[in-house]
Amino acid sequence: MGPLLSAAFVLLLALSAVSPASVGNPEDYAADEAERTASENIVFDDYRGKGCVDDSGFVYKLGERFYPGHSNCPCVCTEDGPVCDQPECPKLHPKCTKVEHNGCCPQCKEVKNFCEYRGKTYKILEEFKPSPCEWCRCEPNNEVHCVVSDCAVPECVNPVYEPEQCCPICKNGPNCFAGTTIIPAGIEVKVDDCTICRCHNGDWWKPAQCLRRECLNGQSLS
């Protein structure tokens, strides 16, 4: 057997060793080729220079205004693509109670025009007294400004508080203590047979000045 016949014999053995499963199915090749051809034939619409497409797939003509997505700011379709308004929106009033979002910027439609204080509401510039010692007013900025009364020191040792009055009053006039006895101010008071007391002028909280005389059997010798 010559060298040429030997090579042919080896090639024949190699081809006969290949199994049918290792060779692709002709139908599979046909399907792949058809899919490849179909993908190459797909034509995607190109709107560059012709219009604009928003997120939902809507197409707009050049010069047409539209609102992309959920934005309230309009866009204009140009040859370079959408040009959208992006204004610097003013800050809303801190006391705004009603806001509308119809335009590009939110707008305050209602501002709080009253004050709240201790669970009650008051009109702007309204004056009120939440307690006998407080005087308050509802300011234009919706804040309450209050002034608390500063009571003077009472001129007695037994002041009383009357309803609807802020400061205590001395119903019996100025007085002071002489021991455990309360005596009126401005006069000398004989607290017993041997002792005469008098309140300090203006210093009603101080104990009274008392003068004790010599006594014999409870009777003054003078």
Please write the tens of the pLDDT for every residue from 41-68.
433 455 666 788 887 788 888 989 888 7
Task: Provide the β-strand partners of residue 134.
Answer: 148
pLDDT the model gives residue 13: 43
Q: Are 127 and 161 found together in one domain? A: no
The pLDDT of residue 15 is above 80: no
| Domain annotation covers residue 61 | yes
The pLDDT of residue 215 is above 60: yes
| Domain annotation covers residue 22 | no
Q: Beta-strand (E) ranges in 42-151?
A: 51-53, 59-61, 65-66, 75-78, 81-84, 96-100, 107-111, 114-117, 120-123, 127-128, 134-138, 144-148
| Domain annotation covers residue 123 | yes
pLDDT band at 18 (very low <50, low <70, confident <90, very high): very low
Q: Which two tokens stand for residue 136?
A: 């308050």
Task: Give the model confidence (pLDDT) of 117-157 as tens digits.
Answer: 999 999 999 999 998 889 999 998 889 999 998 888 889 99
Report which of residues 194 and 26 the model is more confident about: 194
Task: Of 165, 115, 158, 174, give the one whose Cα is nearest residue 140.
Answer: 115
Q: Which domain holds residue 196?
A: 154-215
pTM value is 0.39
pLDDT the model gives residue 87: 82
Q: In percent, how much of the chain has pLDDT > 90? A: 27
Q: Are 161 and 211 found together in one domain? A: yes
| Domain annotation covers residue 45 | no
Task: Of 210, 171, 166, give the one whose Cα is nearest residue 192.
Answer: 210
Q: Are 160 and 138 found together in one domain? A: no
| Domain annotation covers residue 42 | no
pLDDT the model gives residue 9: 45
